Amino acid sequence: MADLAESRLAPSEPLKPPASSTGVIGWLRANLFSSVWNSILTLIALYFLAVTVPKAVDWLLVDATWQAANGRECMAAAGGACWAAIGEKWRFILFGRFPYEEHWRPLIVCVVFVALFLASCDRRLWGMPLLAIWAAGLALNALLMWGGVFGMTYVDTSLWNGLPLTLILAVIGMAGAFPLAIVLALGRRSHMPAVRAVCVAYIELIRGVPLVTLLFMATVMLPLFLPPGITIDKLLRAQVAIILFAAAYLAEVIRGGLQSIPRGQYEAADALGLGYWQKTRLIILPQALTVVIPALVNTFIGTFKDTALVIIIGLFDLLMLANAAMTDPNWRGFATEAYLFVAAIYWAFCWFMSKYSQWLEADLNKGRRR
């Protein structure tokens, strides 16, 4: 009897799930072959991969030429990519016409910029410490780019090429646009109709036209705008155009943040007896800007990509240098390789920033997530 009772009460060995629903096979069935339609899709995708991936790998790696004295040797070798051309030209594509022996200077500038980006990712530094770090970093970069002191030769801005140029245009563009954008965003939300009209007109005018026209305006019309005798160098003109352009987009982002602040915050600030500027500086902006940080990062990515447009006014950014590098008669005809090299650089920056923005958005919303 006791035996029977024991066997009844003892839990029986649990049944294993069917072999077809676990392990690799189970995963495949659930994710790739869950239905007829899904199986067809999987097969189409596999066929597509089978056609493209081997070809791409062959061209990029297997048949590629890594060492060659000049372009003709590359052409004569197997039909793959000619990375020897990049090996020969990478310093030109990255730093352009900056004096060759001084290339360590733009290199350090790029490293400093990357370090500044990384420092900005750390939320413990946000606020005054970060501002101080940026100010120091930018001062160091300006020193390194211009030179003229401590035995470094003076380098004209027309020789600021390649990656440092792209980074400078994007960073200064964003930094310069930021105060203007805050003013525009506040103005657009103002109760004074004339102020609102001016801000709306500016924002919509700039957002309605392509950056190309603004860059043209900066090169063709800015000299006409200024009193006779005053000239501005080309880099600064492009920089002004980028600042004016970015400010309009940034203003809309910040306006989004301002709109998300509940009315009660404004009323509470009024009740405390704060004036408009105190209210804005102490209560509204800190909250509004925190909300839009991910969107600010996205705007920065946009500005970073937009700097590639300065090619049309003849500034030597990465893209222009990739073009220029491949006009060398010894290395003609490897534009694809040069573009891929430049694309990889842009991609690395943008992808990292977009991932950071996504992570930050999730992190800032932690409190709201259920």
**CA nearest neighbour of 174 among 166, 109, 198:** 166
Is residue 277 a contact point for another protein (CB under 8 A)? no
Is residue 24 a contact point for another protein (CB under 8 A)? no
CB of 186 to another protein, least distance (A): 12
d(C-alpha 83, C-alpha 86), whole Å: 5
User: By C-beta, is 79 or 286 nearer to another protein?
Assistant: 79
String marking each residue 284-323 x if it binds another protein according to CB under 8 A: -----------------x---xxxxx-xx------x---x
- Here the tokens at position 119 are 């420092």
Contact by Cβ (8 Å): 163, 304: no
Restricted to residues 165-204, the positions that interact with another protein (CB under 8 A) are: 191-195, 198
Among 11, 14, 227, 264, binds another protein (CB under 8 A): 227
CB of 254 to another protein, least distance (A): 17
SS (H, E, C) 269-338: HHHCCCCHHHHHHHHHHHHHHHHCHHHHHHHHHHHHHHHHHHHHHCCCCHHHHHHHHCCCHHHCCCHHHH
Q: Is 325 exposed, middle or buried (0-12, 13-18, 19+ CB in 10 A)?
A: buried
User: Which distant-in-sequence residues (6+ apart) come within 8 Å of 271 by Cβ?
Assistant: none
Among 200, 221, 272, 282, binds another protein (CB under 8 A): 221
CB of 224 to another protein, least distance (A): 5
Is residue 213 a contact point for another protein (CB under 8 A)? yes
User: By C-beta, is 123 or 207 nearer to another protein?
Assistant: 207
String marking each residue 47-86 x if it binds another protein according to CB under 8 A: -xx-------------------------------------
- Here the tokens at position 57 are 């790998």
Q: Is 177 exposed, middle or buried (0-12, 13-18, 19+ CB in 10 A)?
A: buried
Restricted to residues 331-360, the positions that interact with another protein (CB under 8 A) are: 333, 335-336, 339-340, 342-343, 346-347, 350-351, 354
User: By C-beta, is 111 or 212 nearer to another protein?
Assistant: 212
d(C-alpha 164, C-alpha 96), whole Å: 10
Phi, psi of 193 (to 5 degrees): -60, -40
The residue ranges that bind another protein (CB under 8 A) are 31-32, 34, 38, 41-42, 45-46, 48-49, 191-195, 198, 205, 207-213, 216-217, 220-221, 223-228, 301, 305-309, 311-312, 319, 323, 333, 335-336, 339-340, 342-343, 346-347, 350-351, 354
